Structure 1
Amino acid sequence: MSVLRHIFNISNDEWRPVVASFFYFFFLMSSYFILRPVRDEMGIQAGVDNMQWLFTGTFVAMLLIVPVFGYLMRKFSREKLIPGIYVFFSLNILAFYFLFSFFSSPLISAIFFIWLSVFNLFVISIFWSFNSEIFTTDQAQRLYGPIAAGGSSGAIFGPIITSTLSEQIGVTNLLLISASFLILATFFLIQLMKYAEGQPERRIIAPIQGSVWEGLRLVAKSQYLRHIGLFILLYTSISTFLYFEQAHIVSEAFSASEDRTSYFGFRDLLVNTSTLVLQFFVTERLLRKAGIIFCLMLVPLVASLGFLSLGVNQSVMVLLIVQVLYRSLNFSVQRPSREVLFTKVSIQEKYNAKNFIDTALYRGGDAISGWLFAMIASVISSLQVISFLVIPLSLTWAMIGFRLGKFFNARSINLDKNEKHDVITKKSA
């Protein structure tokens, strides 16, 4: 245990919440990644020239969900609402199981694509919101790497389940396994809540006040949150351009549906394996030693080099290398860094503002950049030229990451001073 404590920099009293959070994320991501290869193939079957409609549908679905979530946050305590949301999504998966068992149509496939895109962002946003409530900034910088590794482990385990059992039990029956894993994630969420109950300063009982669009209001009035929102908007735009280029390159390279699905599974395996190694052994050291500014700028700079490479060579091998580097560094370095940013905000901002940024704003960026890609592609038929055009956007993203890191450091200093002042004042009283 002392060796593990030295490697992962985890104290004795932190093991229980870290293990609970690890397995919470593990089963959450396993549930999602069992279904992700199916979603990617459904997107291609709908037509690579029509994917912007799927992204737009996802954005509209997010706009409908955000005020509902805001309303529920006002009416229910988080200890009841958050497990209830996971149970609700489990029932959704069972509903799709029955639909796929008795019906087969492009409409159901499109609905599933949109639903899974909503499910992915929504449940993961809630996961990180809750963790930002449990752990302090110092703990987040040390522990988010190993915790995020739980998600990467699940992201490896899920595709293994899909590739191993899809032919034996059929794709439809995989939904039952996915629903079971989501219930297991809920179990470990409850264990993490029990830990929080023993921390009086981190009680999670009271509902969060505010309007149903409180997240939008909070983002609009805070310069710090606006920069986070812009950072996310640029991230999702760059990712969408890469996703669309992937769809075109893969559809031209592989004519058979099975070959495309196999490629997506192999890609996910490489990404998630490399991410897992980085999260266990690199994330914590980069966050604490290189600093938040470096971590926020790293992936945008890698994206710039990636699009430069795709501008020179549009082969599947180059695409695979770019995707593995981009996504593994995003999951292992940028995502934990982004979540550390929310340890320095209020409870309302942790849930309402963060959920708005992670869902509606995120998918809004998807939809806008999806239509932008389609418009550019209608004028410029060369994907290589489009790749070169994305490079300035990636460099802008890096500069926003630099500014956001400066804001975080300044906010951390100010909040730490205020906390020390409060302690001194209480002692004086």
Structure 2
Amino acid sequence: MINQIISKSTKIKPDEFRAVILSFAFILSILASYYIIRAVRDGLASDWTDTELSTVWTVTFFISFLVVSFYSYICSKVNFKYLVPGIYGFFSLTFFCAYALLKINPESELIRQAFYIWVSVFSLLNISVFWSFMADIFNKEQAKRLFGFIAAGSSLGAIIGPVITLIFVERVGSETLILVSSSMLFIPLTIAVLLGKATASKETSDQGTNDAAMGGHFWDGFTEFLKPPILKNLLFGIGMFIVIYTGMSTFVYFAIKNILTDIDQDSRTQIWAFIDLAVNILAVFTAMFGTARLTKRFGLTVTLPLVPSIIVLGMLILAISPILWVVVGLQVVRRAGEYSITKPAREMLFTTLDREARFKGKSVIDVVVYRAGDIIWAWIFTGLTQVLGLTLGGVAAIGSAVAVVWAYLGFRLGKHFDAE
């Protein structure tokens, strides 16, 4: 009965139900694990100055570059059926080691900063690996129907993780939560093995065999991303789409931070908590019941530029009325739209690529390019406000122009996908 209700409301076919539910549980568990450990990570940052934190962010970018290069090398050498389970097993082991080191020497700034950096790398790579795996399992037609529902698992995980933290942090302490997060990663490890044994059928056979490594070199992900002709390179186009997305994220985040300057700490916490709750509730229902219908009816030509187009309007409203609840509303719509519509639609693009591009090239985009975008836009925002002296309204006006480019790029990427 439950299977029939879910299948009817979410466009899942009976023979896909098991794989979809496993995929839903997969991303739910990795997001819950991450959100538990993220709270511990972010708590450490309050002990550092702005300069120290900026330095940590910069180091994170270079570490991300090295990790993605090593990951690409592993993709080339490791039997594919061991690759995805091995990634989550590896991160589980490293978090257990971090727990042990912090218990032995909790005051070491080197260990604390290394932990912060490693969690930041994990936050992007683990999601990238998951969606690479999904694009390898499901074909293009299935992705349009199923990725929205699967993505709803990430929003549920983003709710469950903080709830676990709130319930247990005073009882067991922050360090023990690292151990909880580490243990939870055995759930996606197990699911990856199950999905690897019985995956949904694909129309094409470009995913290759699970009983061999991909081959190639550690730099293949970077060469895939920069392969000429660059203007016709889908990976490069997706990368630029993400760079502009990080710009919108940075602009709105900094805007909220600056508006909250004169508000007391407890009120700030309440506002951020309200944003997280509103985002995840809205994202869950949109992803489960709206995204598949949107992509099936209008295609990615409409779906991908939809949220960027809304952000154009939101930025213009913010430019005219730069007040707290306008920017909070913009943040809720932006994040919920990203999690429930834009991200699953963006991940559908990878179903048209081969396995090497999905795993090697995608990790470059999701981790290295993403972190580079963070740094670039943070300094651009700082330059606009601190050097040029622009107000929030002026920055929002510039942001709206950038969002127009974002929407156009989404339209072009969506048109390419629909034409395939």
Normalising by structure 2, what TM-score? 0.90
Please, which of 116, 133, 137 is the counterpart of residue 136 of structure 2?
133
Written as runs of structure 1 = structure 2, the 5 A alignment for 1:30-429 is 30-43=32-45, 45-47=47-49, 51-101=53-103, 102-104=105-107, 107-196=110-199, 201=205, 203-221=209-227, 223=232, 224-255=234-265, 260-381=268-389, 382-410=391-419, 412=420
* Greater mean deviation of Cα atoms: 39-48 or 166-175: 39-48
CA distance 1:229–1:327, change in 2 (3 Å):
same
Cα distance between partner residues in 2 of 1:57 and 1:190: 33
CA distance 1:310–1:114, change in 2 (3 Å):
farther
Q: Which amino acid aligns with 2:244?
A: L
Q: Deviations over 1:130-176 (max 9, x none)?
A: 11010011111111111111111111111111222222322222212
Q: Deviations over 1:185-236 (max 9, x none)?
A: 2111111112139989563222112221111211222522221111111112
1:23 is matched with 25
Cα distance between partner residues in 2 of 1:144 and 1:296: 14
* Cα drift, residue 297 of structure 1: 0.7
Cα distance between partner residues in 2 of 1:399 and 1:99: 48
Cα distance between partner residues in 1 of 2:45 and 2:262: 15
CA distance 1:391–1:198, change in 2 (3 Å):
closer
CA contact (8 A) 1:86 1:183 kept: yes
* Greater mean deviation of Cα atoms: 386-395 or 264-273: 264-273
Cα distance between partner residues in 2 of 1:36 and 1:380: 34
Cα distance between partner residues in 2 of 1:47 and 1:391: 31
Q: Which amino acid aligns with 1:208?
A: M
Q: Which amino acid aligns with 2:210?
A: I
* Cα drift, residue 275 of structure 1: 0.6
Q: Deviations over 1:95-115 (max 9, x none)?
A: 332343331355544433322
Normalising by structure 1, what TM-score? 0.88
CA distance 1:358–1:154, change in 2 (3 Å):
same
Cα distance between partner residues in 1 of 2:72 and 2:96: 25
1:9 is matched with 11
Q: Unmatched 5+ residue regions in structure 2?
A: none
Q: Which amino acid aligns with 1:85?
A: I
CA contact (8 A) 2:241 2:409 kept: yes
List, as ranges, runs of 4+ consecutive aligned residues in structure 1 with deviation greater than 6 Å.
Answer: 197-200
CA distance 1:393–1:55, change in 2 (3 Å):
farther
CA contact (8 A) 2:56 2:113 kept: yes
Which one has the bigger helix percentage?
A: 1
Cα distance between partner residues in 1 of 2:33 and 2:149: 19
For 2:211, what is the secondary structure of its paired residue?
coil
* Greater mean deviation of Cα atoms: 292-301 or 329-338: 292-301
CA distance 1:297–1:331, change in 2 (3 Å):
same
* Cα drift, residue 279 of structure 1: 0.9
* Cα drift, residue 315 of structure 1: 4.2
Q: Which amino acid aligns with 1:379?
A: V
Cα distance between partner residues in 2 of 1:45 and 1:98: 21
* Greater mean deviation of Cα atoms: 30-39 or 154-163: 30-39
Q: Deviations over 1:267-305 (max 9, x none)?
A: 222211111011111010111112202111112122223
Q: Which amino acid aligns with 1:264?
A: W
Q: Deviations over 1:67-113 (max 9, x none)?
A: 11111111101211221111111122223323433313555444333
CA distance 1:70–1:147, change in 2 (3 Å):
same
* Greater mean deviation of Cα atoms: 159-168 or 312-321: 312-321
CA contact (8 A) 1:55 1:370 kept: no
* Cα drift, residue 397 of structure 1: 0.8
Cα distance between partner residues in 2 of 1:328 and 1:45: 30
CA distance 1:150–1:91, change in 2 (3 Å):
same
Q: Unmatched 5+ residue regions in structure 1?
A: 413-429
CA distance 1:197–1:13, change in 2 (3 Å):
closer
Structure 1 vs Structure 2 CA RMSD: 2.4
Q: Which amino acid aligns with 1:396?
A: V
* Greater mean deviation of Cα atoms: 164-173 or 261-270: 261-270
Cα distance between partner residues in 2 of 1:253 and 1:36: 24
Q: Which amino acid aligns with 1:243?
A: Y
